[in-house]
Structure 1
Amino acid sequence: MKITRSAALVAPATGLLLGVLDFIWIKYVPFPFGGLGNSIAVWAVAAFLLTLLNRWSLPVSAAAAAGQLVIAVPAYYLAATIIQHDDLSNLYDANAVLWMILGVVAGLVFGAGGALARRADAPRLLRDAALALPGAVLFAEAVLEIGRIGDPSYSTGSLVAYVTVLIVLGLGTTLLITPAAHRRARVLLLALPLTALGYALLSLTGFR
């Protein structure tokens, strides 16, 4: 019960923080780093880290991560309303609802992944696959951006810069969260098929 209460406090608090800071990041941080504020992959990584760093059960972790991302959406639009006087209806319009639905899906998957990654009783292969999730989703977004190179609607230089940021962030995150050096190569290898799966799923959501 104590763990469940902590999740009920931590998930909304971090969701509020994520949404507000995400808007501030987009508004004030220049590209290519500012592009991370519009990244669903970054939000997925936030959900993963939430449950990796807290000792909650698998169901509680999945629910907490989903709650975090759902709360982050209206928090983002509320920050936009306060800071740049956007319409308050953005908090609950169709676009916000879509992002909240995506937040539920990403939260369930990556929240469960964060919980599995730290479970000593889980099979090693499963834990390593879970550790590969953050890098894989960042790499998948990088692949999406690579697919836009040559499109006259996008600047090639900007795309290359942003792809580089995503890849470096994916590699860095993987190295930081993988506890043993001898496991890192295996985790990165497992990220390859997960990247392909993530690319397919992101394409289905319309991010392509």
Structure 2
Amino acid sequence: MPPTRRALTLVAPVAGFLLGFLDFVWISLVPYPFAELGNSTATWAVAAFALGWWARAGALRAAVAATVLLVVAVPSYYLAAALLQGDDLAVIAAPAALLWMAFGVLAGVVFGVAGTWAHLVGWRRVVGTALPAAVFVEEALRFVGKARSGYPGAWWNVIIDLALAALVVLLVARAARARLLTAAVALPLAVVGALTFTAVAG
């Protein structure tokens, strides 16, 4: 049964605060290479997908909730950095933070809607279930580039991201045929995502 609008309104900002704050704690405490999951855009995107999946009914409602999740997570992350590491609180309003919030709006809409699509039938279900796997594959492709440039231990991150992509496929797509189709669609989506990320970040 989908959550009520009131429940979703409460959960989205609270989950966003926890995502950002605990993300920084994760980076501070967990050893490499798993610490990289704290800096992972894929991790945040899948969190938005999970909220959309939980919201179920209404693509617009899921998109708004997932956007709130990611936008709130950004200042929460920098707040944790200020409290735990002594960083300047002014960074919360810095251009880099505002840029990440803008990315959060985009990712929240895309992955929040994907979470609701994963409950539907037809092509929307295929795309919806493929997107969370695709974002981990896309991140793995970026780590391949880093590994070739001599980034220490990057191959471990490739392995971790690909393993998480496979895990997402197993969890979201239940039947064997659906899993194969999800994996097949996730690969070209990952390539498109990698090209898009390179164009925007570059």
TM-score range with shorter-chain normalisation? Answer: over 0.9
Q: What residue ranges of structure 1 are gaps of 5+ in the alignment?
A: none
Residue 145 (structure 2) aligned to one of 147, 152, 172: 147
Pairs within 5 Å for 1:7-46: 7-46=8-47
CA distance in 1, matches of 2:27, 2:58: 33
Q: What residue ranges of structure 2 are gaps of 5+ in the alignment?
A: none
Residue 127 (structure 2) aligned to one of 126, 129, 146: 129
Does structure 2 retain, via aligned residues, the 8 Å contact 1:140–1:198? yes
CA distance in 1, matches of 2:147, 2:160: 16
CA distance in 2, matches of 1:35, 1:105: 22
Alignment correspondent of 1:94: 95
Aligned length: 200
Alignment correspondent of 2:190: 195
Alignment correspondent of 2:76: 75
Letter in 2 for 1:169: L
Q: Deviations over 1:107-146 (max 9, x none)?
A: 0000000011113xxx422201110001101101111111
Question: Displacement of 1:104 after TM fit?
Answer: 0.5
Q: TM-score w.r.t. structure 2 length?
A: 0.94
Question: Displacement of 1:98 after TM fit?
Answer: 0.8
Q: TM-score w.r.t. structure 1 length?
A: 0.92
For the aligned residue pairs, the C-alpha RMSD in angstroms reads 1.4
Question: Displacement of 1:41 after TM fit?
Answer: 1.1
Letter in 2 for 1:8: T
SS of 2:87's equivalent?
coil
Question: Displacement of 1:198 after TM fit?
Answer: 0.8
Pairs within 5 Å for 1:106-125: 106-119=107-120, 123-125=121-123
Does structure 2 retain, via aligned residues, the 8 Å contact 1:3–1:56? no
CA distance in 2, matches of 1:193, 1:151: 24
Q: Deviations over 1:6-61 (max 9, x none)?
A: 22111101101100110001111111110011111110000001111223311000
Q: Deviations over 1:167-197 (max 9, x none)?
A: 1011111111112233101110111111111
CA distance in 1, matches of 2:147, 2:78: 30
Alignment correspondent of 1:54: 55
Structure 1 runs (4+) deviating above 3 angstroms are none
Letter in 2 for 1:145: F
Does structure 1 retain, via aligned residues, the 8 Å contact 2:56–2:115? no
Does structure 2 retain, via aligned residues, the 8 Å contact 1:4–1:56? no
Q: Deviations over 1:69-106 (max 9, x none)?
A: 00000001111111111111111111110110111100
Alignment correspondent of 2:199: 204
1:55 to 1:130, Cα distance in 2 relative to 1, 3 A: closer
Report sequence identity in percent.
Answer: 41
